[in-house]
Structure 1
Amino acid sequence: MAQIQENASPTKGGKRRVKKMQTQLDMTPMVDLAFLLLTFFMLTTTFSKLHFMGLQMPVPDGETAVREENALTVVLGAEDKVHYFFGFPGDEPPVATTDFSANGIRKVLGSGRVRNNHKMVVLIKATQESRYKNLVDILDEVRITATKRYALAELQGEDKELLKTKIGG
């Protein structure tokens, strides 16, 4: 705790001097209290919970049980381009190209054809020329538009042929 030490000053010439008092504080209990409070607040604090997006991968070598009218295929291409078509490549659907802007793929995912069909599945496929950033961007767009059913799928040969014939890429 606090101690008061008296320093006796010698007298000079018969005059008596006032005693100087020197105080010394022991800081150990205050440091102990600070660490106890710090420990208490660290242990009783609720940490923020991680928010994550659930992703279900398709079963390997499994058949997709999606009907043609319930499929939207999104193909990530080179130079941040997004190609999409409704249905499957074997049916020769019309292919459209867009980008990641608000009037791009977000508008397609938020359209009535996708939003009103509760069985709609968005199949996301990436080409070799696409970047990892494109995959993250499309997953962000899926989350923004609150699309319930989507899957990452492998780009098949018939998808590549359809893109070559329709887009020329």
Structure 2
Amino acid sequence: MKNLPQKVRSRKLNSRVDLTAMVSVSFLLIIFFMVVGELSKAKSMDYPFYNDGCGPDHGCNKPDENRIMTILLDDDNKIITYTGLLLLPIDAPKKVEYGRNGIRQKILERNKKVLDYSAQLGKPGKGTTVIIKPSKKSNYGNLVEILDEMKICGINSYSIVDYFTPEEYKLMASN
């Protein structure tokens, strides 16, 4: 009998795959998406809505000039404030600076006067209504700083308006 060549059998290799690196990458991806999800949530300030129960009477919701303070924002961190109407101001237009001794002090002083005035009228707790008017030249950071001041000073009634009267344009150009 002839010697037949022997069949060479291949050895089976170990088919185990090391998944340690895959687990590490998976955890890194999970952490990444959790952080991105948390950072992408919208950040906003609470805007309280107060109803003083005034009702639908004519003139009921008419603004009181003594309670209205206007803040004009312009370029180069310039702020001009006045109280009442610009043509007949209660507090004349004045240029102020940002910060504790500037706009914050001005808002707090005006709010104290308005609270005293409201208490004399028998409507305690009605504070200052602030109208914030950023110009097209002012930057977003200045608007955020003013909104922070509203929160710090406890001003609950404020509005951001993008309309300037011709007199306000002249006032900003002159200062």
TM-score in same-fold range (> 0.5): yes
Provide the residue aligned with 2:104 in structure 1. 106
Match of 2:148 among 128, 140, 164: 140
**Separation in 1, partners of 2:77, 2:113:** 24
Provide the residue aligned with 2:52 in structure 1. none
Contact 1:115–1:147 (Cα < 8 Å) also in 2 = no
**Separation in 2, partners of 1:142, 1:155:** 21
Give me the CA root mean square deviation: 4.0
Structure 1 runs of 4+ off > 6 angstroms?
none
Match of 1:121 among 126, 129, 132: 129
Q: CA deviation at 1:50?
A: 7.0
Query: Structure 2 length as normaliser, TM-score?
Result: 0.56
DSSP 3-state at the match of 1:109: helix
The structure-2 alpha-carbon separation of the partners of 1:115 and 1:92, relative to structure 1 and needing over 3 Å to count, comes to closer
**Separation in 2, partners of 1:78, 1:71:** 23
Query: Structure 1 length as normaliser, TM-score?
Result: 0.58
Identity %: 24
Q: Which runs of 5+ in 1 are unaligned?
A: 1-26, 29-34, 40-46, 57-63
Provide the residue aligned with 1:96 in structure 2. 94
Alignment of 1:34-45 (within 5 A): none
Provide the residue aligned with 2:164 in structure 1. 155
Contact 1:77–1:127 (Cα < 8 Å) also in 2 = yes
Provide the residue aligned with 1:6 in structure 2. none
Residues matched between the structures, number: 134
